[in-house]
Amino acid sequence: MQEFTEAMYASEDIRRLSDFLSLVKKGSAWKIPTQRLIALTGNTRRGKYINQSINDQLKSHGLVCNPEIENADYYGNVIVSDPRDELGERNDVVSLPISAFPSEFENLISCGPEMEIKKVRTLMISLDISQLPVLSSNKKSALGVVTWRSLAECQVDLNSAKASDAMANPGHIASSGDDFLNLVDSIIAQEYMLYSIPDGRINGIVTASDLAKAFDGTASLYIQLQELESRLRMLLDRSPIPSLQKHLDPKRQSMKSFRGASDMMFGEYIEALKDPEIWAATGLRVDQESCLKLFSDAKDVRNGVMHFSSSSGNETESEHDDNIAVIKALRILRSIS
């Protein structure tokens, strides 16, 4: 396996993502820092459309990224390879690194222990943030976190106080590659979670407010997707288990104690529904091709929701179209008793 170096990134030969992807051949996988892969698109952070652009270019070159760009540790590495290369068995359970969670700021906003509280307050108000980490000079130690609560409880005159006089315990410090879903309870309990990057610096935060925004933007859609998946499973289970099992991913077809649709993944639902006998058993009396297209669109929306790539607030035209696809698919499924 070859490694993408800083010297290569600085060279004139590799200026765009396509330049790098042209280096990847069958039998010659490349390891590249996640940040560098994103930078080759002309961007510094991930987002729904940046992720899609990277995935589209990978597809056009016939390549795969492991882990997928949406799930990769922002401060770690990914492996870009020809899918025919043997890279070992992939785990069916995909974790979401905390560094993959959307952040409003490119880098962590912090201060030193000597910053005057009046400047701390000004920073927090102007940036509309509720937590300001107090870090050591090398940013490798969290001395505390100034919050509106810690300011209210400060026993020192705020006119002369410093950040060190009004900070709370920083709590647990995660690593950028830690599974975000395992940290949700802690984030809610302490209202934020700082995380460090591989070089030891503390350079990220996820807050309870961030969670609320993300879940608010996806909650209703998430419920609709749950209903869609439940209805698909009920229709698929009208077919014999052996008929369903043969449509599992080749690496999963030898699964022991296969229990039917409840053990299938969304992509496998669609593959199974292409089978004329399974399709007939569902009782769906609609155009199969159009219906499968809607289910495929719903699968893409589902992946976006699971990776928090749907934005909160006003929907873009593309996101609105995605949601309409889910609603249309649900209408079809609801037509079956």
Task: Render each residue's pLDDT in the chain as its tens digit; 337 residues.
Answer: 899 988 888 888 898 999 999 999 888 899 999 999 999 999 988 888 899 999 999 988 888 898 888 888 899 999 999 887 764 444 444 467 888 776 777 789 999 999 999 999 999 999 989 999 999 999 999 999 999 999 998 888 888 899 999 999 999 999 998 888 788 888 888 889 999 999 999 999 998 887 777 666 555 677 678 888 888 998 998 888 888 989 998 888 777 778 888 888 889 999 999 999 999 999 888 889 999 999 998 888 887 666 555 444 444 444 455 578 888 888 888 887 6
pLDDT in tens, 190-241: 889 999 999 999 999 998 887 777 666 555 677 678 888 888 998 998 888 8
Q: Give the three-class secondary structure for 255.
A: coil
Residues in the chain: 337
pTM for this structure? Answer: 0.56
Residue 126 token pair:
């102007």
User: Judging by beta carbons within 10 Å of its beta carbon (0-12, 13-18, 19+), is residue 236 exposed, middle or buried?
Assistant: buried
Q: Check if the beta carbon of residue 206 is closer than 8 Å to that of residue 193.
A: yes
* pLDDT tens by residue, 235-270: 998 888 888 989 998 888 777 778 888 888 889 999
Q: Where are the domains of the chain?
A: 2-88, 117-208, 211-334
Predicted local distance difference test score (pLDDT) of residue 209: 81
Which CATH number does the domain 117-208 belong to among 3.30.465.10, 3.10.580.10, 3.30.365.10, 3.40.50.300? 3.10.580.10
Longest dimension (CA), the chain: 78
231 sits in which H/E element: helix 208-236
CB atoms within 10 A of CB 337: 4
Do residues 53 and 69 touch, judged by C-beta distance below 8 A? no
Using an 8 Å Cβ cutoff, are 116 and 165 in contact? no
* Cβ pair 148, 130 in contact under 8 A: yes
Angle at 176 between CA 87 and CA 172, to 5 degrees: 135
Do residues 310 and 217 touch, judged by C-beta distance below 8 A?
yes
Question: What is residue 219's predicted lDDT score, i.e. its pLDDT?
Answer: 58
Residue 156 — left, alpha, or beta (φ > 0 → left; ψ -120 to 50 → alpha)? beta
**Strands in the chain per DSSP E:** 2-3, 30-33, 64-66, 77-81, 131-135, 142-147, 173-175, 192-196, 202-207
